[in-house]
Every structure is written in structure tokens, then in C-alpha cells.
Amino acid sequence: MPEAQLPGVCWACEWAMKKLKKQLGDNAKAEMIKAKLMKVCDSIGFLRSRCKKMINKYLDTLVEELSTTDDPKTICANIGVCKSVGMLKLIQGFPQNYQKV
């Protein structure tokens, strides 16, 4: 089953990225981001193991993503654990065209 379809992984990703974005501020260094990433899943509850697996799998990419101005939904879509927000909005904006494709 693709990771984006695993129950709770998208929610856990968005939760963790939102929490980290608040903690890190604008000029966080890579070492600080990595240290916070390694601890963020400790307070998530029953999704802790899935959260930690996701962090470990995408650690380097998440460090880069958290250095950008991307919001949590975009970060999680970029690593592939959530569906792309942009495509969903595009389809919703042009439903008559989507049905023809």
C-alpha cells in the first residue's frame, strides 16, 4: 500500500510539520531542524510509530522542506505522504473538464 494511503500518515505529517514550523521560526539551521524532527513524534500519541518511520525515511528531504516557506500541507504533499493540494484544487475548479479526461 503506498504511504499516502496508509491511514493517519498524512495527518501525522501535517501535525508534525505544523508543530515544527511554529517552533523553528524563520532562520533555523539544519542541525536544529534535524534535532527537532527526531523528537517531534514523541508527543503525537497512537500514531507515534508511523510518524517516526516517516521522519526517518524522509529526514533529509524534511530538513530541506522545513527550510522553505512552504506550509505543512505542501511539505507533506511534496514528500508524497499526502495528496497534492494543487491538483485537487485544479480539478475542483474545472469539474466539467476533468470528467472529459
The 10s digit of each residue's pLDDT in 15-58 is: 999 999 998 877 889 999 999 999 999 988 888 888 999 999 99
pLDDT band at 71; cut points 50, 70, 90: very high
Judge contact between 33 and 63, C-beta under 8 A.
Answer: yes
pLDDT at 65 over 50: yes
Pick 48 or 7 by higher pLDDT: 48
Q: What is the pTM of this model?
A: 0.74
* Whole-number percent of the chain with pLDDT over 70: 76
Domain count, the chain: 1
- The residue segments making up the domain with residue 53 are 3-100
Measured at the CA of 33, the angle between CA 65 and CA 79, to 5 degrees, comes to 30
Q: Which domain CATH number covers 20?
A: 1.10.225.10
Taking the CA atoms of 96, 78, 46 and 24 in sequence, report the sign of the dihedral they define.
negative
